[in-house]
Amino acid sequence: MKALFMQKKYLIEFILFCTYMLFAMSWVGATIFMPEIMKLAGMQTLTQASILSTSLTVAKIFGTAIAAWTITKFGIRNAFTLSSFLICFSIITPYVENYWLLLISRFLMGLGGALVIVYFNPIIYQYFKPEERAVVNGLNAIAFNVGTAIIMFGVTNFNAISGGWQHTLLYISIASILMLIIWLIFGRIESQKENQAQTIAINNYTFTDGLKDKFNWIYALTYSGLLSFYIVLFTFYPKAGIAQTKQVILFGIAGIIAGIFYSNKIKRRLPIIRIAGLIQLVCVFCLSFVNNPILSLLSAASLGFFMFLPMPALVTYAQERPLMNAQKIAVTFSLFWSISYLVATIASTIFAKIVDISNGSYNLAFLFICIIEASFLIGSLILQED
């Protein structure tokens, strides 16, 4: 029985990783093919495209905020089933000819992705031993980057093999449906006795308790600045003539791999978070204000590496808090992602507004987002480790 459990947990992790990786491929793929999607759905204005993008942002904020509640209501297995099902709404995107149906389907897909990112943590906490979690957390943290890199660098080949952009997005969605089916077959998580124990834990740490916990706010606001910069980087920096975003993705993957090895060997989490936070800040300023192409390339590569290097440690740090249980983790990461996405949405909106009032100049907006990004370093200095 123990051997069967050991084998099953690796299959569960495979499903988790592939589900979120395929979500990234669908999301980023639709962004790449947005001109074709707009034409198919009869979208005439950029305002409609902006609303479509905003719907995904709202889905992320709303989804991560309700994630802990869905676990309470449905149990972790059914909650993850629901989120995987919502991601499968991506199958509508390449063929829908109605704007509002497209908007609803994209919102539901984004909601599914937002839920999954929270569910990673209680599932990993339940299945994997403490000494294994840093590795698995690192793998899950890299899932979105892997999906993004695959679709960004392979889109031309995918279209050539599949026969066009619609078939490319269709096959990605079919793969998501396959992951859902595998989860339905193998994704049973806990016994009835364990469910009863989890219900007690739920009653002892509610979402309201999470809001009152100072740690959750510091933890979320620490990451908020980094996420804000990440979103602004891919949304606005290319428009400002800074095109080294692909290097951030590639070296981010390398950073996660290094972070996995580090966090698996070194048990103290905060030193690497603080060192990476300092280097990140230097790289962000260099990428934003240095006009030399070689230095910009080096800054982007270093930024990608040190942006993702501390992620395994950052996630594992919260899981290792005293008196931790699966539901407390669910609440913590529900707040972590919802607060982070809310702050990132506000920050990116302010960034765009600053550019507008500066008559198209990005200098003041760059300074603003650099200051916001500094929250990662500041927060890491406030957090404590026994």
Render pLDDT for 289-344 as a digit per residue (tens, 0 to 9): 988 889 989 999 999 999 999 999 999 999 988 888 888 898 999 999 999 999 99
Angstrom distances, CA of residue 231 to CA of 49, 130, 341, 369: 17, 31, 10, 10
**pLDDT at position 225 over 80:** yes
**pLDDT at position 88 over 60:** yes
Query: What is the Cα–Cα distance from 65 to 47, expressed in whole angstroms?
Result: 27
The matching CATH number, chosen from 3.90.330.10, 1.20.1250.20, 3.30.70.100, 3.40.50.970, for 205-386 is 1.20.1250.20
Query: What is the Cα–Cα distance from 15 to 351, expressed in whole angstroms?
Result: 37
CB 79 within 8 A of CB 40: no
Q: The domain 1-189: what is its CATH number? A: 1.20.1250.20
CB 375 within 8 A of CB 221: yes
pLDDT for position 346 = 92
Q: How far is CA 309 from the centre of its chain?
A: 15
Angstrom distances, CA of residue 19 to CA of 158, 330, 385: 19, 19, 33
Domain positions in the chain: 1-189, 205-386
Query: What is the Cα–Cα distance from 351 to 232, expressed in whole angstroms?
Result: 8
pLDDT for position 192 = 38
**pLDDT at position 20 over 90:** yes
1-189 and 205-386: identical CATH topology: yes
Phi, psi of 145 (to 5 degrees): -65, -40
Query: What is the Cα–Cα distance from 336 to 300, expressed in whole angstroms?
Result: 26
The conformation of residue 197, written as its DSSP 8-state character, comes to H
3-state DSSP call for residue 292?
A: coil
Q: Is the dihedral of CA 339, 344, 345, 349 positive or negative?
A: positive
Q: How far apart are the first and last CA of the chain?
A: 36
CB 57 within 8 A of CB 341: yes
**pLDDT at position 12 over 80:** yes
CB 127 within 8 A of CB 301: no
The model's pLDDT over 213-224, given as tens digits with 9 standing for 90+, comes to: 999 999 999 999
pLDDT band at 2 (very low <50, low <70, confident <90, very high): low
What mean pLDDT value characterizes the chain?
A: 88
The model's pLDDT over 37-52, given as tens digits with 9 standing for 90+, comes to: 888 888 776 567 667 7
3-state DSSP call for residue 190?
A: coil
pLDDT for position 131 = 86
